[in-house]
């Protein structure tokens, strides 16, 4: 007869299934904080990377006005002067274009069909305040629709020495266009214009 032996205990450790309430709450909190951080970053990036319609309109005005000025002739003499195409300095001109603070002669205006701006230097200190706002080249009475609260200013400075490294500082002009939007933000564009060869009409 075999001796009686005590049965061995085989009861195993109970395995937990699922997650506890504390773990679930911690998971929700961590995910919420992470998602909030990502959304805040995306919001900042979107806000600062996309230009508003107002800024885009101000930029379009500045680009258009800068192109208008840069396409004008840049000579020693007024383009209507007989010596304009051959002048090697301003002393031979009946009407010199060496003045950069306004139109020469001062009867010229941007909107005139009889006596319009015809040289880069004529735009020196040109201003379109708001209101009335931005005008087209051919109409100085009625502002362009929707642009009544924008303003634009043209500043011209001599830049021959800095840009070209020449003694004649008037050989190049720096054109600065400043457009102020209705929200008082500014768009500033710079461009340069040099004399041709050095005095031919373009």
pLDDT, tens digit, for every residue of 115-171? 999 889 999 999 999 999 999 998 999 999 999 999 999 999 999 999 989 898 988
pLDDT of 146 reads 92
Q: Is residue 47 part of a domain?
A: no
Print the domain residue range for 114.
Answer: 53-194
Note whether residue 64 is domain-resident: yes
Q: What is the total count of domains within the chain?
A: 1
How many Å apart are CA 74 and CA 194, to the nearest integer?
Answer: 7
Which residues neighbour 150 within 8 Å (Cβ) at sequence distance 6 or greater? Answer: 57, 58, 61, 130, 133, 134, 179, 180, 181, 182
Would 137 be classed as within a structural domain? yes
Q: What is the pTM for the complete model shown? A: 0.72
Q: Write out pLDDT tens, residues 46-63.
A: 776 656 888 999 999 999
Report residue 49 as tokens: 């990377």
**In a domain? residue 34:** no
């Amino acid at each position: 007869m075999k001796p009686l032996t005590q049965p061995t205990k085989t009861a195993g450790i109970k395995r937990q299934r699922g997650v506890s309430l504390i773990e679930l709450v911690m998971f929700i909190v961590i995910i919420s904080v992470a998602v909030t951080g990502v959304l805040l970053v995306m919001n900042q990036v979107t806000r600062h990377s996309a230009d508003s319609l107002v800024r885009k309109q101000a930029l379009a005005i500045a680009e258009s006005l800068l192109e208008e000025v840069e396409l004008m002739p840049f000579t020693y003499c007024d383009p209507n002067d007989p010596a304009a195409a051959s002048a090697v300095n301003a002393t031979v001109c009946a009407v010199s274009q060496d003045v950069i603070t306004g139109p020469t002669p001062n009867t010229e205006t941007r909107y005139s069909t009889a006596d319009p701006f015809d040289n880069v230097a004529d735009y020196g200190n040109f201003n379109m305040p708001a209101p009335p706002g931005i005008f087209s080249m051919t109409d100085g009475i009625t502002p362009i629709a929707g642009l009544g609260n924008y303003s634009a200013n043209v500043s011209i400075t001599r830049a021959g020495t800095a840009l070209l490294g020449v003694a004649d500082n008037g050989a190049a002009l720096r054109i600065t266009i400043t457009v102020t939007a209705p929200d008082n933000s500014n768009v500033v564009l710079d461009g340069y214009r040099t004399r041709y060869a050095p005095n031919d009409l373009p």
